[in-house]
Structure 1
Amino acid sequence: MRRLRTVIPLALGLSLLSLPAVARAHPVACFDESAPITVEESRLGDRLTPDGPAVGPELARLAGFEDDVSSFTARLCETRSRSRAQQLAATAGTGLWRAAVDRARTAQAWDAYDDRPLYWARLQATRALRQWTPRFTLSTGDRARLVGAFDLGSRGVTDLAFADGARRVAVTGFDPFQLSGTSVRRSNPSGAAALRLDGKVVDTPQGRVVFQAAVLPVLWGAFDQGIVERFHGGALGQGAQAVVTVSQGRPGQFDVERWAGRWRGGFPDNNDLSSVGPAPDAAGWPQPAHEFIETTLPHERMVGAGTTPFPVLFNRSFCEWPVGTVPGEGFPDCRSDEPTPGAAAAEGSGGDYLSNESMYRANRLRLGLGATGVAGGHLHTPVLGQPADPTALTDATFERERRAIADQVVALVSVT
């Protein structure tokens, strides 16, 4: 994703889900509300009006995930061993992902294209895991593994299984990001598209296509730990013939990005953390050294496919640190021809944030595994705005634009 340079008013009163993640069925809490949580999780209490409900929990409630969260916290309070806790975290995370995918396919669901409920329900569960006070000793490492198991399961990373008899395409979208203040309402159409795509089978003029999808976090640390490699490595291991990373980009257009660059520019992530420098290797995966990696997606076909309503462009731009200079110092040279041999990458066609890095990591891995015949690259979607009323969670224009973007993503990745 790039760095971003019919109204349902909020009901009064507090949702039960806006309270600390304590099971309603358990009057005696098994959670320590003073235990530290992440910046992302702290936004669960953000409101658009002083008397309105917390936005994230309210979106989870409207989508029908309230019972999923309260059931998980109730079962957590009853868990008596680390092994059972690990199993619970993994199965509950995967269950939340499947519920979100099923919801995205249900025409009768409240705003079925809304990616935000999954994001906020996941944070409620991971907050509960961080603040859980079990009746047995739980080390810092054990707790991190529980959080990680739930997180990966709820993103579709561990739910990867292609159907037979079709061209296999792996796709990733992203969580909402830049969520401070009233922007806590933000949605990410790439995540909405991923939910629509997971398990979907599409008949195209080139043949039948089957998708597996996941939603990536907007977190530098998760990328350092190899979440991109884990999903796309699993997909390539199952014979994926295309790997496509998708994120939100520029207003009013789609961009098929030509180049991925190795450099990360440091724009803050969803935990308000920055990172500057070359993208680190992910342990356990082949990581060949490339400053730039060129897309192998069929960009001419994607641009010429006639998808609507947004124009689709092939973006050739990139920036490099000139040969003989120190990367990160001075000003990069930005062009649209070819990278200079020996120059260090400063920006890919899609910038220097996590979207560029998702393309870089997925395709560095593709090359490292010798999958040179696999199509790989990145698609940037148009920017999705926010509801016009600053006190509203949604409106008709917001929903219509997200639906249009997500549907066009499906159409574009179907021709890869």
Structure 2
Amino acid sequence: MIKLILSTSLLLSSFSTISASLTVEEQRIEKASTAMPEVLAAFSKEITQFEQRWKNLKSYKQATDLVHDYSSQLWLDAKQRIITSKSYDDRELYWARLLSSKTIRTTKPDFPITSAEQSTLLTLLENGSRGRTDLAYSKSTNKKILLTGFDPFLLDINIDQSNPSGVAALLLDGQVITHNGITAEINTVMIPVRYEDFDQGIIEQLLAPYYALNNVDMVVTVSMGSKEFDLERFPGKRRSVTAPDNANIVYGGTATAPLVPSLNDRPLPGSEFVQFSLPVKQMQQAQGQFKINDNHKVITLMKAFEAKTLAELEGAIAVKGGGGGYLSNEISYRSIRLHDQLNSDIPTGHIHTPRIAQFEPETEAKIVQQIKAMLEQSLVAL
């Protein structure tokens, strides 16, 4: 433990003098290092080496090459680490990414760097370490599945929070699943819990090529929910919760005044509710500890009820879709809206996993196993 604390302390040695330059997420590093030093030390060797190489860079070209290679390797190492250790811990990658972005933001390389160049390098770090640059289907399978997970969130309540959807993204990426002689390769991406990224079109940029070309067979977004698995049938358009995102931004929507999100500085287009197209009956056959619900619950400005059809929601103002009024509902809404806009026939929808308290590796193992079983069962319907 002493070694872990010392290792983490080296990474944080200049924290007190540069905290004003850090993002809200990066400012939590200090608290996290005290609460769970072993998590922050998981990639301490790699991060220290990255910082040393960063300091000695002589050009922006060298910087882009370094960040591209380092971030991609960080994603690969995080996947390998969680598989090898069987830790079911997504937190190590999350905090390693923040320690790395802190280096880019606050440590000067050996060449003049502009704010625009720094911003580009931070985006490279995000894309590589979230699996965006690793999205390639290389296996010879019958089907292709794209799955997204989320970062840990609400960290000011529980700094040591894990997210089962992130665990699933790390463990399932690149896996080949089989059911009734049908095979499928899974590719995954990790999504930030930040309103600004959604408003700038991160989901649309990720998914538009797949929907336009119909070149995968299912898109599944995943996040942490409540007690059981919920397949969210009717996602809603608006934000209506007072919970902050990971940047401590509270969007301002409420149950009585839900707000429309943005897309590239304009109001997000689309109807108030959309309907998913996952193979529900097949997914509900997946065996596991948790019940799998076909969730029809919605809340409009007029009432809360279980809608049987999308037609029942015509003319209503969305307060909460099946997935709520936060970003887990919104990733589902945005993906389905885009799917419909581009006339795609790719089955698309959202899985809410059971909730965990802080970090529960045994429960998360069962959650991921049941998600995998749901994907396997779905193959006969794709």
TM-score scaled by length of structure 1? 0.81
Contact 2:286 2:373 in 1 (8 A): no
- RMSD over aligned Cα atoms: 2.4
Q: 1:381 to 1:97 in 2, by over 3 A?
A: same
Q: For residues 274 and 306 of structure 1, what CA distance do their matches in structure 2 show? A: 37
Contact 1:32 1:133 in 2 (8 A): no
Structure 1 residue aligned with 2:288: 308
Q: Helix, strand or coil: the match of 1:259?
A: coil
Moved more, 208-217 or 287-296: 287-296
Q: For residues 90 and 8 of structure 2, what CA distance do their matches in structure 1 show? A: 18
Q: For residues 89 and 226 of structure 1, what CA distance do their matches in structure 2 show? A: 23
Aligned residues: 364
Q: Higher helix proportion, which one?
A: 2
Q: For residues 297 and 268 of structure 1, what CA distance do their matches in structure 2 show? A: 29
Q: For residues 181 and 248 of structure 2, what CA distance do their matches in structure 1 show? A: 43
The structure 1 segments of at least 4 consecutive aligned residues displaced by more than 6 Å after TM superposition are: none
Q: For residues 197 and 373 of structure 2, what CA distance do their matches in structure 1 show? A: 29
Q: Which amino acid aligns with 1:214?
A: V
Q: 1:234 to 1:129 in 2, by over 3 A?
A: farther
Moved more, 37-46 or 86-95: 86-95
1:17 aligns with 2:22: no
Q: Which of 289, 293, 310 in structure 1 is aligned with 2:270?
A: 289
Identity %: 33
Structure 2 residue aligned with 1:385: 357
Q: Which amino acid aligns with 1:171?
A: L
Q: Deviations over 1:272-326 (max 9, x none)?
A: 1111321212589xx75222110100112111x142011111110112235xxxx
Q: Which amino acid aligns with 2:315?
A: G
CA deviation after TM superposition for structure 1 residue 233, in Å? 2.9
1:194 aligns with 2:152: no
Structure 2 residue aligned with 1:40: 25
CA deviation after TM superposition for structure 1 residue 32, in Å? 7.1
Q: For residues 413 and 44 of structure 1, what CA distance do their matches in structure 2 show? A: 35
Contact 2:148 2:189 in 1 (8 A): yes
Q: 1:87 to 1:405 in 2, by over 3 A?
A: same
- Alignment gaps of 5+ in structure 1: 1-9, 23-28, 48-52, 323-332, 388-397
Q: Which amino acid aligns with 1:70?
A: T
Q: Deviations over 1:11-60 (max 9, x none)?
A: 587332344467xxxxxx9x97355111111111115xxxxx53455314
Moved more, 222-231 or 261-270: 222-231
Contact 2:144 2:216 in 1 (8 A): yes
Q: Which amino acid aligns with 2:292?
A: V
Q: Which of 215, 233, 243 in structure 1 is aligned with 2:219?
A: 243
Contact 2:353 2:367 in 1 (8 A): yes
Q: Helix, strand or coil: the match of 1:145?
A: helix
- Alignment gaps of 5+ in structure 2: 254-258
Q: Which of 76, 90, 94 in structure 1 is aligned with 2:68?
A: 90
Q: For residues 347 and 288 of structure 2, what CA distance do their matches in structure 1 show? A: 23
Q: For residues 123 and 103 of structure 2, what CA distance do their matches in structure 1 show? A: 13
CA deviation after TM superposition for structure 1 residue 238, in Å? 7.1
1:216-227 matches, within 5 Å, as 216-227=191-202
Q: 1:336 to 1:147 in 2, by over 3 A?
A: same
Q: For residues 18 and 407 of structure 1, what CA distance do their matches in structure 2 show? A: 36
CA deviation after TM superposition for structure 1 residue 72, in Å? 1.3
Q: 1:270 to 1:68 in 2, by over 3 A?
A: same
Q: Which amino acid aligns with 1:281?
A: L
Contact 2:276 2:348 in 1 (8 A): yes
Q: 1:13 to 1:136 in 2, by over 3 A?
A: closer
